[in-house]
Amino acid sequence: MTNIRDLAREAHVSVTTVSRVLNDHPYVADDKRQAVQAAIQKLGYIRNQTAVHLSTGQTHTIGVMLPFVDHPYHAAILQGIARCAFEEGYRFLTWQTNYVESHEHTVLKALAQREVDGLIIVSHSLSVDEILQYEQYGPIVFCEYHPHASSVYINHYTAFQKGLKALQSLHHTEIGICLGRPDSTNSLARKQAYQDTVSDDARPEWIYEQALTIEDGAHVARAWMNQSQRPTAILTASDHVAAGIILELREQGYRIPEDLAVIGFDGSDLAVVLNLTTVAVPYETIGRHAFSIAISDSWQQHPQTEIPTTLKNGTTASILCVK
Amino acid sequence: MTNIRDLAREAHVSVTTVSRVLNDHPYVADDKRQAVQAAIQKLGYIRNQTAVHLSTGQTHTIGVMLPFVDHPYHAAILQGIARCAFEEGYRFLTWQTNYVESHEHTVLKALAQREVDGLIIVSHSLSVDEILQYEQYGPIVFCEYHPHASSVYINHYTAFQKGLKALQSLHHTEIGICLGRPDSTNSLARKQAYQDTVSDDARPEWIYEQALTIEDGAHVARAWMNQSQRPTAILTASDHVAAGIILELREQGYRIPEDLAVIGFDGSDLAVVLNLTTVAVPYETIGRHAFSIAISDSWQQHPQTEIPTTLKNGTTASILCVK
DNA sequence: TTGTACGCGTTATCAT
DNA sequence: ATGATAACGCGTACAA
């Protein structure tokens, strides 16, 4: 493997001059520059990036920690990160943690070990404090709201409130909600929005937890059918869950939204094909913002960037479907 | 940043001994080992991976080249790669190329520059020969069939044939197909399967090209409606396209499968929620195989690994729906 | 404008 | 069992 020393010898210049040519530095005579370039051609030289990384102390790589890569929600954030990273000449490493804490530690360690210049945390199960201990090694940006950390987030409280108020404006008073992991930051905010907005009509038995997948949605539907007192509308935390509920209920002969109004969350392809009423989230934008914070110096101020959501009208809970 | 020299000084041993302790090598006395470990604790030492990479000449990182990260199809392959990589203590870098050739060159260059130990190419637009020139720098594994390269693939010819024969067994004789990028390896195989299987009934105007997204599917549906001679069944190259066709046609008052039978491809979430008849592909398995080939020595023999597909019955083209 | 010499942090070779 | 010391390949003060 030929290196810059070989080039220097071949071109009859010093390694410094070679390095200058390689990095487009000024102050190098044209004849020498050409001599170096000729040597590069002749010897088929290719720069070793690892050596650059060691020498400069930077890898130009950002790490991304997320539970799963194959969920539309996360993939869309990745999309934003990918676009931005490419534009900036950065790479990104992805770690899939499945919310396993030991795996999350692996990711944090990678930051400490200088494998990456910074970290974007899409979702996590370790405590924020524990994660922030690694901030001494480089920028850590969350895609969730955390007041004492750099975070790019959607306001799950107001987003959920938006859905709930829409249902109320359709004269629903018996409203249920679906949550994902019950103790996650997002779920807590959503539950709070539920209690504040629906207030007196809020009922614990209408809060369906651990609802994350299509399959989980079907479970929720079955639970709903078995209840003596049923909500007339359900706001979910993902389009997948909404889809599961709707499919199962239709299967059983119920009509949506007449028997049960359902609102999704995400604005994914599922919402398009099922024509779901849903809370659309610009995930790609979140990824872009998170990335640009991670590679700038602004992260040190722990900036808070809220990304707005929009309620997208469909046929599973719309004015058109209500008398 | 403390390094192994600091540790050596602190523990009163040589850097070699420190390195041995760090890498669990034998031949190091217990007292020295403990002294080193104490020094590690005291100085808060963390190993610099970049230096390890330079010294060993390996990065323990695999690069993944794909057009988009936010398509279920690619995300599922990534999932397989992610699982395998984690198990093996490897990292993976993802490059999203959008099928832009200059971007693809960037990825190949990264292999030459030793940023990654190997490359998995999910899909590409550069010629295989051009890509294979970079094989001198490390393993390159394709997730498409290429006879002279390491490849993990599904047989698009037989997979498409499977769908076509299913339609024929439902007594369809007027069959159309949707293809993605018209000149891709996959599309060519699919077109061949169409011509061979449907043979005399194959019609150029029933081959709908550039059909990749839900939106494209809607276009296909409109094209179909405008035709004087319409196929009675369409086999698509993705569930997205199938979904787009079905939604648009239902919108216009057509019935599926009575007016048009539709078969999807992928076996994605869309197929689940729309109850599509589809050709299911185990993408995660493809990712796993590709990865394990990339990190073993077997790639040098250019192994060919075919992954089987299965026809999944739904309601958009099933025996149940035909008299 | 150019070059020398050292640093980056680790592993590997070869003595002892 | 342990330790000097030379790689690995590049960037960069500092000197000239």
Q: Where are the domains of chain A?
A: 4-47, 60-154+283-307, 156-280
State how far the Cα of A21 lies from the Cα of A25, in Å rounded to an integer: 6
Separation CA B94–CA B65 (nearest Å) = 6
| Distance of C1' in C12 from CA in B86, Å | 28
Task: Answer yes or no: are the C-beta atoms of A168 and A208 closer than 8 Å.
Answer: no
Amino acid of residue B123: S
Per-residue DSSP letters for A43-86?
HT----HHHHHHHHT---EEEEEES-SSSHHHHHHHHHHHHHHH
What's the gap in Å between the CA of B50 and the closest CA on chain A? 6
**Which residue of A43, A48, A49, A268 is the best one to mutate when testing the B interface, meaning the one whose CB has the most B CBs within 10 A?**
A49
Distance of C1' in C1 from CA in A118, Å: 38
CB neighbour list of residue A162: distance below 8 Å, 6 or more residues apart: A279, A309, A311
Best of A22, A40, A50, A107 to substitute, by most chain B Cβ atoms within 10 angstroms, is A50
DSSP code of A300? G
Class of domain A60-154+283-307: alpha beta
For every residue of chain B, which 3-state class applies, written as one string? Answer: CCCHHHHHHHHCCCHHHHHHHHCCCCCCCHHHHHHHHHHHHHHCCCCCHHHHHHHHCCCCEEEEEECCCCCHHHHHHHHHHHHHHHHCCCEEEEEECCCCHHHHHHHHHHHHCCCCCEEEECCCCCCHHHHHHHHHHCCEEECCCCCCCEEEECCHHHHHHHHHHHHHHCCCCCEEEECCCCCCHHHHHHHHHHHHHHHHHCCHHHEECCCCCHHHHHHHHHHHHCCCCCCCEEECCCHHHHHHHHHHHHHCCCCCCCCCEEEEEECCHHHHHHCCEEEECCHHHHHHHHHHHHHCCHHHHCCEEECCCEEECCCCCCHHHCC
Q: D11 C1' – A65 CA distance, angstroms?
A: 31
| Distance in Å, residue A14 CA to nucleotide D15 C1' | 14
Q: For all residues of chain A together, what is the average pLDDT?
A: 94
A149 token code pair: 């950390």
Q: Could you give the CA distance from residue A95 to residue A63 in angstroms, rounded to a whole number?
A: 7
Residue type, A244: G
Q: How far is CA B214 from CA B196, B207, B211, B245, B264, in A?
A: 28, 17, 8, 8, 12
Strand pairing partners for A280? A266, A310
Q: B309-322 burial, b if ≥16 CB within 10 A, otherwise e?
A: bebeebebbbeebe
| Closest A-chain CA to B109 | A46
Fold of A4-47: 434 Repressor (Amino-terminal Domain) (1.10.260)
Element (H, E) at A261: strand A261-266
pTM given for the model: 0.93
Do residues B238 and B68 lie in contact, with contact meaning Cβ atoms separated by under 8 Å?
A: no
Would you tell me how many other CB atoms lie within 10 Å of the CB of residue B301? 9
Tell me what pLDDT residue B323 has.
36
The answer to whether the CB of B210 falls within 8 A of the CB of B182 is yes
- The three-point CA angle B205-B280-B298 to 5° equals 110
Beta bridge partners of A265: A279
Judge if the beta carbon of B43 is closer than 7 A to nucleic acid strand C: no
Minimum CA–CA partner of A57 in chain B:
B50
Shortest Cα–Cα distance, A196 to chain B (Å): 33
Instruction: Decide: B271 and B123 in contact? Cβ < 8 Å.
Output: no
Give CA–CA dist B255/B260, Å, rounded.
7
Strand D atom within 7 Å of A55 CB: yes
Q: Residue A274 and residue B247: Cα distance in Å, rounded?
A: 9
**What are B157's two structure tokens?**
């010819």
Angstroms from B243 CA to nearest CA on chain A: 7
What is the chain B residue with the closest CA to A102? B86
**Strand D contact nucleotides, protein CB < 7 Å:** 1-13
Instruction: Find, in chain A, the residue whose alpha carbon is nearest to that of B90.
Output: A95
pLDDT tier for residue A72 given thresholds of 50, 70 and 90:
confident
Quote the tokens at residue B142.
Answer: 């394709």
Instruction: Inspect the interface and report whether the beta carbons of A214 and B112 lie closer than 8 Å.
Output: no
pLDDT value, residue A145: 94
Q: DSSP state, A286? A: H
Alpha-carbon torsion (B169, B174, B180, B182), positive or negative: positive
Please report the sign of the dihedral spanned by the C-alpha atoms of residue B307, residue B275, residue B211, residue B78.
negative
In this prediction, residue B1 carries a pLDDT of 84
User: Under 8 Å CB-to-CB from B230, ≥6 apart: which residues?
Assistant: B174, B224, B260
Instruction: Please give the Cα distance from B119 to B142 (Å, whole number).
Output: 8
Q: What's the pLDDT score for residue B322?
A: 40
Q: Are B117 and B58 in contact (CB under 8 A)?
A: yes
Closest residue (CA) to C1' of nucleotide C9 is: B51
Strand A61-66 relative to strand A118-121, pairing: parallel
Q: Both tokens of residue B302?
A: 């250019």
The CATH homologous superfamily of the domain defined by B156-280: Response regulator (3.40.50.2300)
A278-309 burial: b if 16+ Cβ within 10 Å, else e: bbbbbbbbbbbbbbbbbbeeebeebeebebeb
Give the mutation candidate from B49, B213, B249, B315 for the A interface (greatest A CB count, under 10 A).
Answer: B49
Tell if A13 CB is < 7 Å from nucleic strand C.
yes
Q: Which nucleotide is nearest to A54 (CA to C1')?
A: C8
Instruction: Give the whole-angstrom CA distance, residue A123 versus residue B79.
Output: 16
Cβ neighbours, 10 Å, residue B174: 14
So what's the pLDDT on residue A131?
A: 98
In this structure, is the CB of residue A54 within 7 Å of any atom belonging to strand C?
yes
CB contact under 8 A, B270 and A274: no
- In whole angstroms, D15 C1' to A24 CA is 22
Is the pLDDT confidence value at A318 over 80? no
d(CA B262, CA B264): 7
Strands of the A233-235 sheet, one edge to the other? A207-208, A175-178, A233-235, A261-266, A277-280, A310-312
Residue numbers in A near B4 (CB within 8 A): none
pLDDT in tens, A30-39: 998 999 999 9
CA of B29 to C1' of C12 (A): 20
Under the banding of pLDDT at 50, 70 and 90, the label for residue A70 is confident
Q: Which helix (H) or strand (E) holds A225?
A: helix A214-225
CB-CB neighbours of A26 under 10 Å: 5
CB contact under 8 A, B269 and A270: yes
User: How far apart (Å, rounded) are the C-alpha atoms in residues B152 and B308?
Assistant: 11
What is the spatial distance between Cα A286 and Cα A307, in angstroms, rounded to a whole number?
Answer: 7
Cβ-based contacts of A43 with chain B (< 8 Å): none
Is strand C less than 7 A from the beta carbon of A57? yes
How far apart, in whole angstroms, are the C-alpha atoms of residue B305 and residue B290? 9
Question: How many Å apart are CA A118 and CA A58, to the nearest integer?
Answer: 10
Bases of chain C below 7 A from a protein C-beta are: 1-13
Q: Reply yes or no on whether the pLDDT at A323 is more than 80.
A: no
Q: Closest to B270 (Cβ–Cβ): which among A86, A114, A273?
A: A273
Tally A–B CB contacts below 8 A.
127
Nucleic strand D under 7 Å from the C-beta of B29: yes
B47 CB below 7 A from strand C atoms: yes
Consecutive sets of 10 residues in chain B, 323 residues long: mean pLDDT of each?
92 93 89 92 95 95 95 92 95 96 97 97 96 97 96 97 95 96 93 96 96 96 97 97 96 94 95 94 97 95 97 81 39
Please report the pLDDT score of residue B53 as a whole number: 96
Q: Is the pLDDT of residue A320 over 50?
A: no
A82/B92 touch (CB, cutoff 8 Å), yes or no: no
CA end-to-end span of chain B, whole Å? 76
**Cβ proximity of A110 and A117 under 8 Å:** no
pLDDT of residue A285: 98
Same CATH topology for A60-154+283-307 and A156-280: the answer is yes
Asked if A54 CB < 7 A from strand D, the reply is: yes
**d(CA B55, C1' C10) / Å:** 6
